[in-house]
Chains A and B, each alone.
Chain A
Amino acid sequence: MMDKPVNNRAWFLVLPVLIVVAFSAVIPLMTVVNYSVQDTFGNNQFFWNGLGWFQEVLESDRIHAALGRQLLFSAIILAIEIPLGIFIALNMPKRGFWASLVLVLMALPLLIPWNVVGTIWQVFGRVDIGLLGHTLAAMGFDYNYVNDPVDAWATIIVMDVWHWTSLVALLCYAGLQSIPDAYYQAARIDQASRWGVFRYIELPKMGGVLLIAVLLRFMDSFMIYTEPFVVTGGGPGNATTFLSIDLVKMAIGQFDLGPAAAFSLIYFLVILLISWVFYTVMTAQRETP
């Protein structure tokens, strides 16, 4: 349309935010950049190390393994939460009392702080006192997330799905609500199957929010820290040591500030890169004539 207002003065309104961002993000980031190119032997003495740390991080098997686990984790999370969220959204009541009730119920997991979620599941899954762990054990399953890597993974994935699927569902629900009734009516007249309605009406109209959902869930799962830290502490062994847990172990546990700084910069760039790829691919697909 031709009637979009263009007013460059609006940029001035963004200025305070830019200043806050500068102090809260850019300056700490610069500190990290500073650490990443220096070495120290204590006593506040620093030596120029060039790209040494970067090289070390990029060649580190340990970080490669953590990155692999991280990618696998995000892929599984997305593969479960996105379809499941869409499915739930499609089956939520459209209006009336039940719609409000379901919305509230769906929003509940989102309101719980990360560490509390972790604690809940840590207890929930315990074989001795946890409802889930105990029941599974009683049913004869050899379930123990403390010893068994597969069980640990399963627990963390189920926990994340429980915590975040409603976000995807709510976003999709909002997208679905904006589809005019005429589309459904037209599809009925055209005798489109349920799958046809989904494929040609609902999915295209949800495209925009789905892109946001994928980006949010990807970035969030790629940076996941608190929940696995609380539940498994990265174990058993290194089975659930994801990138951020590894980073914290390196920076705080071992006090390797230089490599940790280089690591976090690479981490940051990887997230940026993957998000950008997601975004370009998904928008390009939406805009091809």
Chain B
Amino acid sequence: MTLELRGVSKEVAGQAWTHPTDLVLAPGSMNVLLGPTLSGKTTLMRLMAGLDQPTAGRILWQGRDVTGQRVQDRGVAMVYQQFINYPSMTVYDNIASPLRLQRVARAEIDRRVRETAAMMRLTPFLDRRPLELSGGQQQRTALARALVKGAGLVLLDEPLANLDYKLREELRAEIPRIFEASGAIFVYATTEPEEALLLGGNTATLWEGRVTQFGPTPQVYRAPQDAVTARVFSDPPMNFKPVVVTGGEAALDDARWPVDVPDGPYTAGFRAAHLTLDQTPRAIPLAARLDATEITGAETYLHLLHGQDRWVGLVPGVRRLAQGPLTVWLDPAHVYLFDQCGRLARAAPYARAA
């Protein structure tokens, strides 16, 4: 089972909500759509589900053109940010409802409902009504209802956004397991880079209605094709700084390091965790100003100013530092170079090695 989007685009009132997009989602794959609010994740999902029709392009399911086919006939399941269940039905009836619509035999319904409930750890709550459950359990019920159908395509639109941090963490760890057991294509929309990384699989980064990159999640994370992808896929935000390359060497502050790109102006980008407070063998010193620190208990975030640019650093341990001038260290192996158009000119060497 493969879902293929060929040149799919969506315009509403002359405005492009989705620019022409080509995507192939492999059978039994986990696919994350990562992008900020209004970047077009939901629009793309609705096109995949058949809830909306594309302005141009075709959608193929198992090689068959399903563009224009009704949602009901497509065999898709969708879970939303809001916990959508039938409030007057028990959890059991909620999970059974899609099977009853399909007129599955009673014994078969019972078997599948119990099996799915066990997988979603809902067995003790089958006789309760959704509103008597916690948010996490309500969303598990909605997930169970989506999975019980055995749909080939399961679309999850920020399903954990309305849950508490800890519940989110727990369900997030469970979703890969649930996904593996189902064998369906999962499409999972989120605004959080960390969620994409935890889910693994493939990631498509979205920005203003455009898929900027699609590939295996760690690869998109470590080898972003452009500055926009790098920004979308970094939390804390990626740090940027204009640099000039002359004579095969890039210069930042007083330090220079060799790079294999033509001379000219570039933008250097590096992630928060790659700034350090202590000198490492190849690291270059950068003179910044410390604006504020945030301590998470295990790590310390540094809010820095380097000239006009705001940077965030993440260092292990609890570091209490005074506001004011601060030297931070950066290993050039962790620096990406982007050209004037924002395209990747040179990947960070550490990522190429990995």
* Interfacial residues, chain A to chain B (CB-CB below 8 A): 1-3, 5-7
Whether A3 contacts B12 by the Cβ 8 Å rule is: no
Shortest distance from the beta carbon of B36 to any chain A beta carbon, whole Å: 12
Interface hits, B1-29 → A, CB 8 Å: 12, 17
Q: Please classify how large the interface on chain B is, using the bins under 10, 10 to 19, 20 to 34, 35 or more.
A: 10 to 19
12 residue pairs A–B, Cβ–Cβ below 8 Å: A2-B17, A2-B38, A2-B42, A2-B43, A3-B46, A5-B46, A5-B51, A5-B52, A6-B12, A6-B52, A7-B52, A7-B53
A6 and B46 CA atoms in complex are apart in Å by 11
- Tell me, rounded to whole Å, the shortest Cβ–Cβ distance linking B56 to chain A: 15
Task: Please report the C-alpha to C-alpha distance between residue A7 and residue B52 in the assembled complex, in whole angstroms.
Answer: 7
Residues in A neighbouring B46, C-beta threshold 8 A: 3, 5
Whether B40 contacts A2 by the Cβ 8 Å rule is yes
Q: In the complex, which residues of chain A have a beta carbon less than 8 angstroms from the beta carbon of B17?
A: 2
Q: How far is the CB of B294 from chain A (nearest CB, A)?
A: 27
User: What separation, in Å, do the CA atoms of A7 and B53 have in the docked complex?
Assistant: 8
Residues in B whose Cβ lies below 8 Å from that of A7: 52-53
Interface residues of chain A: helix, strand, loop or mixed (majority): loop
Shortest Cβ distance from residue A67 to the other chain B in the assembled complex, whole angstroms: 41
Q: Given A3-B43, A6-B52, list of 10 further CB < 8 A pairs?
A: A2-B17, A2-B38, A2-B40, A2-B42, A2-B43, A3-B42, A3-B46, A5-B51, A5-B52, A7-B53
CA separation between A3 and B12, bound complex, in Å?
11
Q: Quick one: which of A1, A3, A5, A7 has the most chain B CB within 10 A? A: A3
Shortest Cβ gap from A11 to chain B (Å) = 14
Q: A residues within 8 A CB of B12?
A: 6
Complexed CA–CA distance, A7 and B46 (Å): 12
Interface hits, B154-168 → A, CB 8 Å? none
In whole Å, how far is B13's beta carbon from the nearest beta carbon of chain A?
9
Q: A-B pairs with CB below 8 Å: how many?
A: 16
B80 nearest in chain A by CB position: A3
Q: Quick one: closest B residue to A8, CB to CB?
A: B53
For the complex of A and B, 5 pairs with smallest distance between CB atoms: A3-B42, A2-B43, A2-B17, A2-B38, A5-B51
Chain B nearest CB from A4 CB (Å) reads 8
Closest partner residue, chain A, to B12 (CB atom) = A6
Given the complex, which residues of A lie within 8 Å of B38, measured CB to CB?
Answer: 1-2
A102 to B: closest C-beta gap in Å: 27
Q: How many Å lie between the Cα of A56 and that of B216 in the bound state?
A: 80
Mark interface residues in B40-81 (1 if CB within 8 Å of A CB, else 0): 101100100001110000000000000000000000000000
Cα–Cα distance between A6 and B13 once the two chains are bound (Å)? 11
- A1 → chain B, closest Cβ, in Å? 8
Measured CA separation A285–B6 after assembly (Å): 45
Shortest C-beta distance, B8 to chain A (Å), equals 15
In the complex, how many angstroms separate the beta carbon of B27 from the nearest chain A beta carbon?
Answer: 28
Considering only CB atoms, which chain A residue lies closest to B18 in the complex? A2
Kindly list chain B residues whose C-beta atoms are within 8 Å of the C-beta of A2. Answer: 17, 38, 40, 42-43
Chain B residue, CB-CB nearest to A9: B53
Distance from A12 Cβ to chain B, minimum over Cβ atoms (Å): 14
A2, chain B: closest CB distance, angstroms: 5
Residues of A within 8 A of B40 (CB): 2
How close is B209's CB to chain A, nearest CB, in angstroms? 9
Q: How far, in angstroms, from A145 to B331 measured CA to CA in the complex? A: 95
Q: How near does chain A come to B121, taking the closest CB pair, in angstroms? A: 30
Interface residues of B in 192-237 (CB under 8 A from A): none
A1 neighbours in B (Cβ, 8 Å) = 38
Q: Shortest beta-carbon distance, A106 to chain B, in Å?
A: 29
Q: Which residues of A contact B42 (CB under 8 A)?
A: 2-3
Tell me, in angstroms, the Cα distance from A6 to B54 when the chains sit together: 11
Distance, CA A5 to CA B38, complexed state (A): 15
Give the residues in chain A near B52, CB-CB below 8 Å: 5-7
B201 CB to closest chain A CB, in angstroms? 24
Q: Which residue of A lies closest to B43 (CB)?
A: A2
* Chain B min CB distance to A6 (Å): 6
Give the chain B neighbours of A3 by CB distance below 8 A. Answer: 42-43, 46
Q: Residues of A contacting B53 with CB < 8 Å? A: 7
Q: Compute how far the CA of A6 lies from the CA of B12 in the bound complex, rounded to whole angstroms.
A: 8
Among A2, A3, A5, A7: residue with most chain B CB under 10 A = A2
A3 to B43, CA, bound (A): 6
Residue of chain A at shortest CB distance from B13: A6
Shortest Cβ gap from A85 to chain B (Å): 33
Chain A nearest Cβ from B79, distance in angstroms: 14
Residues of B within 8 A of A6 (CB): 12, 52
CB of B213, distance to nearest CB on chain A (Å)? 21
**Least Cβ distance of B17 to chain A in Å?**
6
Which residue of chain B lies nearest to A4 when distances are taken between CB atoms in the complex? Answer: B12
How far is it, in angstroms, between the C-alpha of A121 and the C-alpha of B164 when the chains are bound? Answer: 60
In the assembled complex, the Cα of A6 lies from the Cα of B43 at a distance in Å of 11
Q: How far is the CB of A13 from chain B (nearest CB, A)?
A: 15
CA distance A249 to B104 in the complex (A): 68
Cβ contacts under 8 Å, A5 to chain B: 46, 51-52
User: In whole angstroms, how far apart are the Cα atoms of A3 and B41 in the complex?
Assistant: 9
- Distance in angstroms from B33 CB to nearest chain A CB is 13
